[in-house]
Amino acid sequence: MNPDTHHAWIGELTAWAENNADVVGMIGAGSTGASDRPADQFSDHDILVFTVDGAAALLRDDLSWLPETNRIIYVHVETLHGRGAIYDDGHLLEIAVLDTKELEVIRLNDYVVLVDKANLSARLAAVAERTAIETTANDGNVARYGHFLQDMIVGANRYARGERLSGNNRIRGGATTNLLGMLGGSWGCL
């Protein structure tokens, strides 16, 4: 998706959220909320919607509010609150819809507040701060080193056993991510 279309979708979603009485807030997270990495043709959309209590489930189950719904070819249930909508051109729109009382269950790194009708900004900032503290405490180099070793051993054993795809994934995915993290890269998390 080109950056102009990416931004147009954000505008469309923002207008929808501002005009929906059940929606009290919406943020762009991950790549959608990153100020230091502008959207490019490979960027997906990461949107979190906060509703009046009791309204979130309906919006999660009826995605007709998403842009160009006629082009959605698959919806994946990622978590209790999250859905991944895949479009016919491969574009991914990841959404989470939560009642306002559930806001503190999320984790945030990069984000931008797109709509805030209920003064959620302070709560969101506290969530982002807590996430940063937890990430630092739980994901230091000692923990990453342990995960790196574990992924290397499990991956090598699976590969040797003939489980080539699983072994390859464990080494190239998990082990590499932890190695890069130990080397000081901030390779993203949401």
Indicate the pTM of the whole model.
0.74
What whole-number percentage of the chain has pLDDT above 90? 48
Question: What mean pLDDT is predicted for residues 51-55?
Answer: 96
The average confidence (pLDDT) of the chain is 86
**Residues 114-149: b if buried by 16+ CB within 10 A, e if exposed:** bbbeeebeebbeebbeebeeeeeeeeeeeebeebbe
Residue 6 has pLDDT above 90, yes or no: no
Question: What mean pLDDT is predicted for residues 173-190?
Answer: 69
